[in-house]
Structure 1
Amino acid sequence: MSNKNQLILDAFKFRHACKQFDATKVVSEEDFNTILDAGRLSPSSFGFEPWKFLVVQDPKIKEKLYPVAWGAQNSFNGASHFVILLARKKIDTLYNSDYIMKIMTEVQKLPSNIAQERKGYFENFQRSDFKLLESDRALYDWASKQTYIAMANMLTTAAFLGIDSCPIEGFNIEAVEKILEENNIIDTKHFGVSVMASFGYRKNEPYPKTRQSIEEVVQFV
């Protein structure tokens, strides 16, 4: 096995869902910015980036989130950095929304005729291929899926840097969104809470990683 292959596998073996962080250790600004950039540079469907990364630093906000985010409580008690990944809602992700057109014209810098053509492809994708227009929830869940790609890349990048992390789904979505909205942090017309992740350094060594064998999870056809 080449050194590059081994480095990749070593990072995945190092990564685990860290349950207890060492509160005395802080991730450097350079390393955390690299983790955030890994999320920002992640792939998304059609390249439309239907996400936002909310870095929670205010102790008062963490205190308010603590009782409604049970899966994050250990992270609040020791993790160096805490991120809430937001997913955009229908108002931004519908094929003809202002946000989608802005991404195509201002970010992807497509000529107007190409942008209009691509909008048609995107409409067909949403309407027919994935049937995302059947409900607002279907469209939101599609956007939320994209945030998991970004989070996975952030977790792996952290592992490469020797930084521990924990992906978190243990929270009450409505309660968390209400807190963030009441504190003027998010506009719930445009964003919903998708998933959370914390970063820092382990307090204890983890249990050995357990996974199914490669033969059990991979099928060649």
Structure 2
Amino acid sequence: MDTISTSNTTAAITKESILAAYQYRHATKEFDSSRKISAEDFNFILETGRLSPSSFGFEPWKFVVLQSPEIREKLRPHAWGAQKQLPTASHFVLILARQPRDMAAGSDYTEAIIQDVQKLPSEVAEGKRKVYGAFLKTDFGLEGNERAIFEWGARQTYLPLGNMMTAAALIGIDSCPIEGFDKVKTEQILAAEGIMDPEHFGLACMVAFGYRTNEPRPKTRRTADQVVEWV
């Protein structure tokens, strides 16, 4: 048996229970709108997103929990992948990614993370700035390519996305990740509603949470031999 220890509690888990959660999880297309996730459970799900790792620890994301039925309905014409999820999900999350201006080396945002969140000693902070600048310019060649920088940040949002969906499955809550939307039109609505500042954020993906109405088909995946190579 595996254990997870904290200063206050020790929780016992098993490998089997984790794999069972992965087997249980599926992309739920329609939820039981009469069932709502408790505040305690959803805060737990959000916390697993907040604690997720990110490149250089810069956390280039924001989670917007969209509970307004009116705004959800405004998004539906432009979110073909969320037609059933938007009106039925207990909780619907918009995952935003930071814009290139915030992810640039030396930006106000990255400096705030280094100084106010990570609280690095001055010599360590200076070293991190140099390494990050070199990473953008040379290692990944992102500097000067705004679309590539945004996509790099958006790619990182899939770490909390996956963690939140797995955490939900572990406690019997369903989810569905969604990329099926018109990015430009959806972002225009979010900006007009005062939900998203387009100077600092763009929409990376969406994810719906709730309880399934129907049992899914058996899970299909390629075999381990087809997806894993040892060298």
Pairwise TM-score range, normalised by the shorter structure: over 0.9
Between the aligned partners of 2:114 and 2:140, the Cα distance in structure 1 is 21
- 2:48 is matched with 38
- 2:170 is matched with 160
Between the aligned partners of 1:13 and 1:42, the Cα distance in structure 2 is 22
The residue type equivalent to 1:76 in the other structure is L
Matches within 5 A, 1:5-154: 5-154=15-164
SS state of the match for residue 196, structure 1? strand
- 1:213 is matched with 223
SS state of the match for residue 199, structure 1? strand
Count matched residues. 221
* Residue 77 of structure 1: how far off its partner (Å): 2.4
* Residue 27 of structure 1: how far off its partner (Å): 0.5
Between the aligned partners of 2:213 and 2:67, the Cα distance in structure 1 is 21
* Residue 102 of structure 1: how far off its partner (Å): 0.6
The runs of 5 or more residues in structure 2 that have no matched partner are 3-12
TM-score scaled by structure 1? 0.97
Between the aligned partners of 1:92 and 1:113, the Cα distance in structure 2 is 22
Task: Provide the identity percentage.
Answer: 51
* Residue 211 of structure 1: how far off its partner (Å): 0.2
Higher mean displacement: 70-79 or 174-183: 70-79
* Residue 171 of structure 1: how far off its partner (Å): 0.3
Q: Which protein has the bigger helix share?
A: 1
- Superposed CA RMSD in Å reads 1.1
Contact 2:65/2:92 (8 A) holds in 1: yes
The runs of 5 or more residues in structure 1 that have no matched partner are none
The residue type equivalent to 2:41 in the other structure is D
Runs ≥4 in structure 1, deviation > 6 angstroms? none
* Residue 139 of structure 1: how far off its partner (Å): 0.4
